[in-house]
Amino acid sequence: MESEQEEQELPAKDIEAMCLSKAEEFRLLGYEYVTAADIWDCVSRNYAKEGTPPLHRVVNDIYSLKVTTYMNYLTISAYKGLK
């Protein structure tokens, strides 16, 4: 049986892999400078208020992220001075 620490680490690795996959998808669409960290920052911006949601929602949020949503996030971040 896995310890609690191992269970917490596994999703983090999986989440990173999903973000890498999404960043690669965006790069294939011509957005060359997108990183996994950028994807996670965009997806997780709402989690600060409500806390981290269940894993299935995180997975959905990553894989359903659209380029337009990501670009809106970058634009708003630039106006706010976050990036």
Please state the domain extents for the chain.
4-80
Q: Can you give the pLDDT at residue 28?
A: 96
pLDDT in tens, 27-36: 999 999 999 9
Tell whether the model's pLDDT for residue 47 goes beyond 60.
Answer: yes
Quote the pTM value. Answer: 0.81
Largest CA distance in the chain: 48
Mean pLDDT to the nearest integer, 65-75:
95
Tell whether the model's pLDDT for residue 59 goes beyond 70.
Answer: yes
**Would you tell me how many other CB atoms lie within 10 Å of the CB of residue 63?**
12
- The region of weakest confidence among 25-34, 50-59, 74-83 is 74-83
